[in-house]
Amino acid sequence: MYDYSERVPRWLNLANLFTLIRLACVPFAVQAILRQQHDRALTIVLIAGLTDVIDGTLARRFGMATSVGAYLDPITDKIFLSAVYIALAMISSVPWWLVIEIFLRDFLILAGSGAAILFLRMRHFPPSVWGKASTFLQIFCALVIMIGNAAPGSVASRWGGALIWPVAVLTAFSGLHYLWRGLRGNVQGAGESPASR
């Protein structure tokens, strides 16, 4: 009997399928935000968040982690979050300068990592605790703003704007910290002899 599993690539498992579902939700979330269908937009974003929890659980507990998934999952998260912030800026729920700052931070980190790979042959870029905190706060702020849009008289509608400045400060600090940590690691690495590496 022919085994059809041989024709299916290893990376195309259930965990990565949920990641792809989350990626497919991006245009629908953006469309709902731009049309100011706030309840629908919030529902789509929450469903996307649920797929993130599910794919992570499947990857860790059921041995579905793959190298493709390790790249696809964070890229999908970044695309989703960036798209949501752009859409929220387009309906004036967040200021454009905050969106530009978030993109500038990511660009500087990518550029710094690319330079390190190209010129210093570095391959290991562990995530920073401040970077994780910054991403969490960005997600939390977007959710609070979206809840406030869906329920104008709620507490979220009053707190959404107040979270913008903490997000801006932590985003800037996390980017600077990441670059500083990279430079410090390079200086320390350069000071080591080849035998000690």
- Residue-wise pLDDT for 84-109, tens only, equals 999 999 999 999 999 999 999 988 87
The count of domains in the chain is 2
194 in a domain, yes or no? no
Q: How confident is the model at residue 30 (pLDDT cuts 50, 70, 90)?
A: very high
Q: What is the pTM of this model?
A: 0.83
Has residue 27 got a pLDDT over 50? Answer: yes
Q: Looking at the structure, tell me whether residues 98 and 177 fall in a common domain.
A: yes
Q: Looking at the structure, tell me whether residues 54 and 26 fall in a common domain.
A: yes
Has residue 158 got a pLDDT over 80? Answer: yes
Q: How confident is the model at residue 48 (pLDDT cuts 50, 70, 90)?
A: very high
Domain boundary, last residue among 48, 68, 92: 92
pLDDT of residue 119: 67
CB 93 within 8 A of CB 38: no
Strands (E), the chain: none
Q: How far apart are the C-alpha atoms of 52 and 74, rounded to whole Å? A: 10
Q: Looking at the structure, tell me whether residues 127 and 86 fall in a common domain.
A: no
Q: How confident is the model at residue 20 (pLDDT cuts 50, 70, 90)?
A: very high
156 in a domain, yes or no? yes
Domain boundary, last residue among 66, 92, 118: 92
127 in a domain, yes or no? yes
Q: What angle do CA 129, 132, 134 make, to 5 degrees?
A: 110
197 in a domain, yes or no? no
Residue ranges making up the domain that contains 29: 10-92
Q: CA torsion 195→127→174→96, rounded to 10°? A: 130
Q: Report which secondary-structure segment, H or E, holds 128.
A: none
119 in a domain, yes or no? yes
Place of tokens 């309840």: 39
5 in a domain, yes or no? no
Domain boundary, last residue among 41, 66, 92: 92
